[in-house]
Amino acid sequence: MQLKGKVAIITGGSRGIGFQTAKIFSENGADVIISSKNLGQLKIAANQLKNTTPIAADIRNEKEVQNVIEETIKKFGKLDILINNAGIFPRIKQLHEISETEWNEVLDVNLSGQFRFTKFAIPYLQKTSGCIVNVSSDAGLKAYEGFNADAYSATKAALIVLTRCWALEYSKYKIRVNCICPGVVDTDMTKPFLKTEKDREFMDNDHPIGRIGTPEEVAKSILFLASSDSSWTTGAVLAVDGGQSIK
């Protein structure tokens, strides 16, 4: 039980990578709080898991984010782990096609939202010498034609740099901050790109290892970075992408 006695918050925890991370964390002994803006989905997810509490919050709303942290402390008295997983994937457009509203929405959710959760979690992570795992993307590691100008890539690249900044800034409190960069994973977010067998075959072949990933595979990497198995690891950026980023 690698996380026995630990308390973890997982944003975007009702589905996909977040849900599987909550599952593997709870199976490894953690008390888990899952958060997203849809309380109905959160309750459905929590009912499928053990030791899991749903707390709804819009990641764009500072007061709601703060409430998740405060309710966690009220219930468990501490916080050991924060998984910044929540995010949105907008329609792929070239830079000159993106409206300012679209641009700002992606930045607010994918970047400022991570800032908000981290900001309010830090004072409690200082007390437990806790850890943070940021979920970025291989889109933050390399450019993609017709995609690299998108706000999504910008936020994921920025999150990688913030991981290193936060790791350095808070190492004196023994807080570890690491980052994973998944490639294409079989989730609700990627379904629009996998509508046909031809789509799936193309996406599988685009990864050197020959297939796209599963949420479980990414969750296992997050578990490693959140556990004592990575106790001497901070500021790391781990590509979990079937080799996509090395092409």
| Active-site annotation, residues | 152
- Calculate the alpha carbon distances from 116 to 67, 84, 180 in Å: 11, 10, 19
Number of H helices, E strands in the chain: 8, 7
| Calpha distance 145→189 (Å, rounded) | 20
Dihedral class, residue 188 (left if φ above 0, else alpha if ψ from -120 to 50, else beta): alpha
* Total residues found in the chain within this entry: 247
Q: 88 and 60 in contact (C-beta within 8 Å)?
A: no
Cα end-to-end distance, the chain, whole Å: 36
| Calpha distance 223→167 (Å, rounded) | 18
Q: 84 and 179 in contact (C-beta within 8 Å)?
A: no
Dihedral class, residue 12 (left if φ above 0, else alpha if ψ from -120 to 50, else beta): left
Tell me 36's DSSP state.
Answer: -
Instruction: Give the residue carrying structure tokens 């993609």.
Output: 144
